[in-house]
Chains A and B, each alone.
Chain A
Amino acid sequence: QSVLTQPPSVSAAPRQKVTISCSGSSSNIGNNYVVWYQQLPGTAPKLLIYDNNQRPSGIPDRFSGSKSGTSATLGITGLQTGDEADYYCGTWDSSLSAVVFGGGTKVTVL
């Protein structure tokens, strides 16, 4: 059971938009910054979003992040087949004094 809750899967057609939710509590998302990772099959995770909504250099603006209260959302617009991957949210949990991840969401491009 992950501390952060994500839907197991989402899907959409090419060029459409998907959103992935990440739900937590006041001890984690509510009072700490959220990050998002993309993990393509057979590869190490890649940082997509940090500080709730900041993109590292090289990450296209099709990827966006937001946070409200104890939930966060990753948005992907203009969906491409290359976006098929697992996506994880993460943050610091102040009660656990630990980094916590969501269980991951598999994005499928129909």
Chain B
Amino acid sequence: QVQLVESGGGVVQPGKSLRLSCAASGFIFNNYGMGWVRQAPGKGLEWVALIWYDGSKKYYVDSVKGRFTISRDDSKKTVYLQMNSLRAEDTALYYCARDYCSSTTCYDYWGPGTLVTVSS
């Protein structure tokens, strides 16, 4: 069965870095695009980044451009989110998700999330 498991979250000071990982299993990883979506405590969903199935294209929400980098390692079936220059407003539960649709971006499987807290 499809499984996504995020890791790497934690408490970090403003300005510092963190790398999130998402380990995938149960499907042919290099056939699918992958994405990160975050949810601040008590708030709605905010899309963060996506990477195409072959890694050729990457897109980011404006608020993280230049600070976050999405990447993938197909040999490890893992997608990463490198987060630099973290800010308090980056505090959220970060979900990794599989992009199922070819017509648009739609996430059919999600991990349980990993919590990132940016605080001094």
Contact = CB atoms under 8 A, between A and B. Distances in A.
29 contacts: A33-B106, A34-B104, A35-B101, A35-B104, A35-B106, A39-B45, A44-B95, A44-B110, A45-B110, A46-B110, A47-B100, A47-B106, A47-B108, A50-B100, A50-B104, A50-B106, A50-B108, A56-B100, A86-B44, A91-B104, A92-B104, A98-B47, A98-B60, A99-B47, A99-B59, A101-B44, A101-B46, A102-B44, A104-B45
Given A98-B60, A104-B44, A92 B105 contact: yes
B107 interface: yes
Contacts, number: 71
Interface string B41-76: 000111100100000000111100000000000000
Nearest to B109: A47
Interface residues of B, number: 24
A78 B37 CA distance: 30
A92 to B, nearest CB: 5
A96 interface: yes
A44 B45 CA distance: 10
Sort chain A's interface into a size bin. 20 to 34
Given A47-B100, A51-B101, A99 B50 contact: yes
B106 to A, nearest CB: 4
Leading 8 A-B pairs by shortest Cβ distance = A99-B47, A44-B110, A33-B104, A104-B44, A50-B106, A35-B106, A47-B108, A101-B45
Interface of B: 35, 37, 44-47, 50, 59-62, 95, 100-101, 103-108, 110-113
A84 to B, nearest CB: 17
Nearest to B111: A44
B111 A88 contact: no
A35 B107 CA distance: 9
A97 B111 CA distance: 24
Contacts of A80: none
